[in-house]
């Protein structure tokens, strides 16, 4: 917009030296600004990229490797806070909670073996009492009930042995299958232990942490890009030689669709990230409480005819959760290893955008001056922005659609289907699919 107004100072003398000096003064000031920008703002956006990389690296690396954590000891106070990822660090469900793996602690054993033995004892005494009452009253009905219940409890024990055997076998299979993946961040980096001690559920949690880390990187790069583009988008340039004679224009209306797409992608990516953090919590709960709570509770519920089907469904669900749910994450990881080759590294994309595109390398101050002086450069910048936007969005879409939606859905669907089929095999009717609908 042009506003033809009288010039400052010497307006009464058109073409005079005063007018020339005002223009010269403006140009000199602009050059000073540019020079100061060149001198002091070299770190501009490239510095932001470096800072971002450092922040992500320093926070996510120990999180993914599960190193540098204080392992929670049973009965101890809450661990000290060392970083934002402490909310999901594996200390609370680390090796202390391994059972039927290769490392364990007596304390964990006592936590689940004691209540289980107590429950079995109570049930056996009750059955003995019923049997004796049957003999005393000469009641074949009571004796039959006692025998039937004894058989049912024997079946419970068989089921628990089956679950334990299956879990043990799955961990053995996992250790044997992955012993050559020494440098694999998921199969190897688990609680800083040797490879032989890694269990399937630990690897599943490691994959979740790695996925969260990747998503944080994607989010960070997109956010940085969004900051750059949004700065252009929201900028109004004012050009003139006085307050009363200037024109202004907005630089970024054309960028609005890109801003919208990136905003949407960022929102969905953050939700996917939350979802994977939820997977970590769920896997941690499964690992920690399978033997301490779920199986003893299933045994207890199954011991009584009134709650037998509840116990049966809990046992089948526990088996599906302890074996098939983590196994599905390992399948996801193998899929991810293949698929991730199709997406570009967001850090490299941003580096090429910031460092190699040329304009942003010289910092915000000079960029502004350059843009003010040469509108012809704007299409170059916008062209570069659009290509980078699409590359970044492609990667984010993979994380949102494949890792955020499809694979977790498959995992839950397959786990609940396994639970349903197992329940059917044991003649229990549980509508697991209605729970899938709830989820």
Site for another protein in 68-107 (CB under 8 A): 72-79, 81, 84-88, 91-92, 107
In a 10 Å sphere around its CB, with 0-12 CB exposed, 13-18 middle and 19+ buried, how is residue 181 labelled? middle
Task: Compose the 288-307 pattern: x for residues touching another protein by CB under 8 A, - for all others.
Answer: xx--xx---x---x---xxx
For position 67 contacting another protein by CB under 8 A, the verdict is no
Q: How far is the CB of 176 from another protein (least distance, A)?
A: 32
Binding residue for another protein, selected from 11, 18, 19, 52, defined by CB under 8 A: 52
Distance CA 74, CA 95 (A): 12
Residues 367-396 that bind another protein (CB under 8 A): 368, 372
For position 224 contacting another protein by CB under 8 A, the verdict is yes
Stretch that binds another protein, among 189-197, 240-248, 340-348, 379-387 (CB under 8 A): 240-248
Binding residue for another protein, selected from 13, 20, 29, 169, defined by CB under 8 A: 29
DSSP per residue over 219-243, as a string? HHHHHHHHHHHHHHHT-EEEEESSS
Q: Tokens 């229990």 map to which residue?
A: 428
Residues 328-367 that bind another protein (CB under 8 A): 363-365
Q: Give the residue with the Cβ less far from another protein, 146 or 360.
A: 360
Q: Give the residue with the Cβ less far from another protein, 59 or 197.
A: 59
Angle ∠(400,234,360) on CA atoms, nearest 5 = 80
Decide: helix, strand or coil at residue 347.
helix
In a 10 Å sphere around its CB, with 0-12 CB exposed, 13-18 middle and 19+ buried, how is residue 303 labelled? buried
Binding residue for another protein, selected from 6, 9, 47, 257, defined by CB under 8 A: 47
Residues 120-159 that bind another protein (CB under 8 A): none
DSSP per residue over 69-128, as a string? --PPPTTPPPPPP-SGGGGG-GGGGSGGG--SSS---HHHHHHHHHHHHHHHHHHHHHHH
Q: How far is the CB of 324 from another protein (least distance, A)?
A: 16
Q: Give the residue with the Cβ less far from another protein, 88 or 353.
A: 88
Q: Tokens 């499809």 map to which residue?
A: 406
Find the distance separating the first CA and the last CA of the chain, reported in whole Å.
55
Binding residue for another protein, selected from 25, 117, 406, 409, defined by CB under 8 A: 25
Binding residue for another protein, selected from 116, 190, 210, 313, defined by CB under 8 A: 313
Distance CA 396, CA 239 (A): 38
Per-residue exposure over 76-103, b if at least 16 CB sit within 10 Å of its own CB, e if not: eeeeeeeeebeebbbbbbbbbbbbbbee
Binding residue for another protein, selected from 51, 121, 139, 180, defined by CB under 8 A: 51
Q: Give the residue with the Cβ less far from another protein, 178 or 217.
A: 217
List CB contacts of 379: < 8 A, sequence separation 6 or more.
Answer: none
Binding residue for another protein, selected from 267, 379, 409, 421, defined by CB under 8 A: 267
Residues 176-205 that bind another protein (CB under 8 A): none
């Amino acid at each position: 917009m042009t506003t033809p107004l009288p010039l400052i100072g010497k307006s009464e003398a058109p073409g005079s030296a005063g007018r020339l000096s005002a223009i010269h003064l403006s140009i000199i000031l602009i050059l000073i600004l540019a020079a100061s920008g060149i001198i002091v703002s070299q770190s501009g956006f490239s510095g932001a990229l470096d800072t971002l990389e450092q922040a992500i690296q320093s926070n996510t690396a120990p999180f993914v490797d599960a190193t540098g954590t204080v392992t929670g000891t049973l009965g101890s106070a809450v661990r000290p806070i060392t970083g934002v990822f402490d909310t999901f660090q594996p200390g609370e469900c680390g090796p202390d909670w391994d059972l039927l793996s290769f490392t364990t602690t007596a304390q964990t054993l006592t936590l689940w073996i004691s209540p289980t033995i107590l429950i079995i004892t109570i049930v056996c005494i009750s059955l003995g009492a019923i049997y004796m009452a049957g003999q005393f009253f000469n009641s074949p009905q009571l004796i039959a009930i006692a025998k039937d219940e004894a058989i049912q409890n024997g079946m419970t024990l068989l089921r628990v042995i089956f679950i334990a055997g299956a879990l043990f076998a799955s961990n053995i299979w996992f250790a044997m299958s992955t012993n050559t993946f020494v440098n694999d961040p998921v199969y190897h980096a688990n609680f800083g232990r040797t490879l032989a001690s890694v269990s399937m559920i630990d690897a599943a949690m490691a994959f979740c942490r790695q996925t969260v880390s990747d998503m944080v990187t994607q989010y960070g790069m997109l956010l940085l890009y969004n900051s750059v583009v949004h700065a252009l988008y929201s900028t109004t340039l004012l050009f003139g030689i006085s307050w009363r004679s200037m024109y202004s224009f907005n630089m970024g209306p054309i960028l609005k669709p890109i801003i919208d797409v990136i905003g949407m992608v960022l929102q969905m990516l953050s939700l996917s990230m939350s979802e994977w953090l939820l997977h970590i919590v769920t896997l941690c709960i499964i690992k920690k409480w399978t033997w301490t709570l779920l199986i003893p509770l299933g045994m207890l519920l199954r011991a009584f005819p009134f709650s037998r089907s509840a116990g049966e469904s809990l046992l089948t669900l526990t088996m599906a959760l302890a074996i098939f749910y983590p196994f599905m994450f390992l399948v996801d990881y193998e899929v991810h290893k293949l698929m991730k080759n199709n997406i570009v590294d967001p850090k490299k994309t941003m580096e090429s955008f910031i460092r190699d595109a040329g304009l942003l390398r010289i910092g915000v101050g000079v960029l502004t001056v350059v843009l003010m002086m040469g509108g012809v450069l704007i299409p170059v910048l916008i062209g570069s922005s659009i290509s980078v936007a699409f590359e970044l969005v492609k990667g984010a879409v993979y994380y949102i659609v494949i890792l955020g939606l499809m694979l977790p859905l498959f995992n839950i669907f397959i786990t609940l289907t396994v639970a349903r089929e197992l329940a059917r095999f044991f003649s229990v009717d549980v509508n697991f699919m209605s729970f899938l609908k709830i989820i």
